[in-house]
Amino acid sequence: MNRAVINRKLNKVPTHVIIVITLIMWLIPTIGLLVTSFRPLQDINTTGWWTALSSNRTSDKPRFTLSNYVDAIVGYRGTKSYTEECASGTSVTYKCDTSDILNPRGMGRAFLNSLMVTVPSVILPILFATFAAYAFSWMEFKGRMLIFAVLVGLQVVPLQMTLVPVLRMYVNLKMNGTFWGVWFFHTGFGLPYSIYLMRNYIGGLPKDLFESAYLDGASTWTAFTRLVIPLATPAIASLAIYQFLWVWNDLLVSLTFLGGTKPVMTYQISNMVTSLGAGWHLLTAAAFLSMLLPMVVFFSLQKFFVRGMLAGAVKG
């Protein structure tokens, strides 16, 4: 008996070792980024980020600073730092007051733009999808299965297919570079998956519920607002997180339709990567700023996200 217990414990050792090693490998890149984003520019370019964590240090200069974040937020790309330049009073590009937070080159403005892009791009597809999923689940009409099958197929269409025609359409309609353009593009592409997921959920609600509602004289609209929406809240939550992460993290759509006119966070970072002006101190801070909101959403609402993911896959 005792030996069996010991044996079982011993058997678990390699499991734990493999898991811990994998976890460390998964975490190290992100930790490197996080630590670097707080290090002074000088240190970043001369020593590896892990030296900042070691206990014996020769220099008495501070090992961590917030100045990278300040520079990233205002979009400072000069040789000193934003605070130094403002202190010296020689800045041409900056007013050195709170308005700099919204400097078009900075991550502060990009954060607002990302929010402006994301919020309607999450609400619209969910709204339209809930309408459609209701019809697909609880109404009779011709071609119901056919349309739905087409929809399942559309989930996989690569968005690259549609960029050029939509861009042309936008140029003709003078919608290029507007938030409207991005909102509707994300809505269009979010819909097939959203409808599929919502229909799986709404179609699974008990039939009696709808029957008694109709017997009580409820119209389809009353049933929709009083029954479907409140009951589908968990599915709506899953979908909202999914769509939020997708839109917030998207680069291609924003790059194509907004570009530099209304730079979002991913655009701004990819610009820093490709342009020569930005060093690691800016990049790491900017990258971490862009991850902040998705990380918070992700870790606080992970349960819903996973549930949505599992429900969304076309199962065998």
In the chain, the amino acid numbered 237 is A
- Is 256 near another protein (CB under 8 A)? yes
Shortest Å distance, C-beta 281 to another protein: 11
Q: Would you tell me how many other CB atoms lie within 10 Å of the CB of residue 29?
A: 9
Nearest approach, Cβ of residue 256 and another protein (Å): 8
Question: Rule CB under 8 A: is residue 178 a binding residue for another protein?
Answer: no
Query: Could you give the CA distance from residue 40 to residue 197 in angstroms, rounded to a whole number?
Result: 47
Least CB distance to another protein at residue 95 (A): 29
Which tokens go with 155? 């989930």
Task: Tell me the one-letter amino acid at 12.
Answer: K
DSSP secondary structure string for all residues of 227-253? IIHHHTHHHHHHHHHHHHHHHHH--HH
Select from 91-99, 100-108, 115-123, 125-133 the region that touches another protein (CB under 8 A): 125-133
Residue 138 interacts with another protein (CB under 8 A): yes or no = yes
Q: Determine the interface stretch with another protein among 56-64, 79-87, 100-108, 179-187 (rule: CB under 8 A).
A: 179-187
Distances (CA, A) of 129 to 126, 194, 272, 304: 5, 6, 37, 18
Residue 304: partners with Cβ closer than 8 Å, 6 or more residues away: 234, 237, 238, 241
115 contributes a contact to another protein by CB under 8 A? no
Name which of 38 and 136 has its Cβ closer to another protein.
136
Closer Cβ to another protein, 17 or 66, answer by number? 17
* DSSP three-state, residue 52: helix
- Nearest distance, CB of residue 85 and another protein, angstroms: 24
Residue closer to another protein, measured from CB, 203 or 277: 203
Point out which span in 60-68, 76-84, 91-99, 137-145 binds another protein (CB under 8 A). Answer: 137-145
Contacts with another protein in 220-239 (CB under 8 A)? Answer: 220, 224
78-107 residues in contact with another protein (CB under 8 A) are: none
Which of 7, 45, 222, 233 binds another protein (CB under 8 A)? It is 45
In the block, residue with structure tokens 């690569």: 158
Compute how many residues bind another protein; rule: CB under 8 A.
Answer: 104
Query: Which string of DSSP letters, residue by residue, matches 64-96?
Result: --SHHHHHHHHT--SSS-HHHHHHHT--SS---
Work out whether the CA dihedral 120, 124, 125, 127 comes out positive or negative. Answer: positive
Least CB distance from residue 92 to another protein, whole Å? 28
Tokens of 82: 């934003």
19 binds another protein (CB under 8 A): yes
Is residue 2 involved in binding another protein (CB under 8 A)? no
Distance of CA 195 to the CA centre of its chain: 20
